[in-house]
Amino acid sequence: MNMLEVFVSSLEEFQPDLVVLSGLHMMEGQSKELQRKRLLEVVTSISDIPTGIPVHLELASMTNRELMRSIVHQQVFPAVTSLGLNEQELLFLSQAASGPHSSLSSWNGVPDVGMVSDILFWILKEHGRSKSRASDLTRIHFHTLVYHILATVDGHWANQLAAVAAGARVAGTQACATETIDASRVSLRAPREFMTSHSEAGSRIVIDPSRPVAEWHREGVSFHFTPVLVCKDPVRTVGLGDAISAEGLFYSEVRPHY
């Protein structure tokens, strides 16, 4: 966060294909005034990033609802192109900003796919790009232990199937510290069937083992779901979410008109 302005000023020389940011959660210990001031500076810095370079924001666990609300509403979400987050961050975000299923105090076991889908859809509909809103946000990569979902606004991204599958694959290899998936060391714990929504009449999806990435669409938003082969005896878990998001981004294709 301290180096953000210096970093942004070097981008013209560096010419990156993508910028990945994180660390907003580190402001939890700061005063409200400092948080507000710094978030405005963050948005200004992000808007200085040359047009055409996508910006991915990786969220992290927070306990301060006001800070999360500020991140959502103080133009941070519309300033970034892509978000990465887990089930704790997703529900906390919805609770802080009065989104769908915000009355839920916590997930009961595996996060319900339909509920997760509703919240992802709400974020993109409320804060993502649309004909009436000049927002850059068009992509969210959600990851939980047993499955991942990639939600994208139609027309801005390609190769989502490979991206979400690659993120799931690296979760298994990184946690087990193996080069490839070792079938004897992983288990499949994702739901075999689920509803795609609870706030409207969603469809029921049954996972086909031969084509495990499921896809559905809702009002201009595409969802790609994949089960994760979960490492039974994990060796490396630090930075797992970062590895998942990075791998998914590596396989994602930004549409040229972006």
Q: Which residues of 20-48 are buried (b: 16+ CB within 10 A; e: fewer)?
A: bbbebbebeeeeeeebbebbeebbebbee
pLDDT at 257 over 80: no
109-165 pLDDT, tens per residue? 999 999 999 999 999 999 999 887 888 999 999 999 999 999 999 999 999 999 999
For residues 162 and 156, what is the distance between their CA atoms, to the nearest angstrom?
Answer: 16
Q: What is the pLDDT of residue 256?
A: 66
Q: What is the pLDDT of residue 221?
A: 97
Query: How far, CA to CA in Å, does 242 sit from each of 69, 210, 230, 245?
Result: 23, 28, 17, 5
Catalytic residue among 17, 112, 182, 242: 242
Nearest to 199 by CA among 215, 213, 214, 219: 219
Is 242 considered catalytic here? yes
* Longest Cα–Cα distance in the chain: 53
Task: Provide mean pLDDT across the span 235-250.
Answer: 92
Task: Provide mean pLDDT across the span 36-54.
Answer: 90
Q: Which residues of 78-103 are buried (b: 16+ CB within 10 A; e: fewer)?
A: bbbbbbbbbbbbbbbbbbbbebbbbe
More reliable by pLDDT, 251 or 201: 251
67-96 pLDDT, tens per residue? 898 888 877 999 999 999 999 999 999 999
